[in-house]
Amino acid sequence: MIRESMQQIIGRLNDYLNLYFQDTSTVEYVVLSHLSEGNESIHVNLVNVEEDKVFKNQLKPLPSAATTPQTVPTSVNALGGIPVMRLNLYLLFAFNPGDSTLLYEKALSLLTVVLRYFHSHQQQEIVLTIDGQAYNCKARINYHNISLEDSNNMWSNLGGTQKPYAM
């Protein structure tokens, strides 16, 4: 579920970047991988998974009465609804330019376009396949501010020096 969601978000972002830079070769500007030294991709890492406390106790209504008993989910809550899993995924979009000034400038340009994309596409449809059945989910995308201290701790935990990034 998490991998599929991230891959769909990254795929759409790559499509947008290819259109933005008018690149007909379908370059992968954004990849799902650990940071590696001095290459030209934005690396996406899952930094944290958090249960959404606000929506934890909300229930999805039961299917209509016309639904056959075979399609009613088995995990029905006593209050008459289906519990829904809602997660906050903290994704790190980082660029590792190494010591190259040219790659550093490219990193800042790419991250600017990435922020523009997410600002204009704050809600996305994600299609998840669970047990062979497709489910449409909504992903709400928000920029997450990090204090200088938290940023320093994060990069220390990731084992490197700070890079151009957005979360």
pLDDT, tens digit, for every residue of 19-66? 998 877 777 888 998 876 657 788 999 999 998 776 655 555 555 555
d(CA 67, CA 135): 17
Q: How far apart are CA 95 and CA 107, in angstroms?
A: 6
Q: How far apart are CA 86 and CA 55, in angstroms?
A: 7
Q: Which of 12-21, 66-75, 155-164 has the highest mean pLDDT?
A: 12-21
Q: Left, alpha or beta for 153 (phi > 0: left; psi -120 to 50: alpha)? A: alpha
pTM, 2 dp: 0.78
To which residue do tokens 């596409």 refer?
121
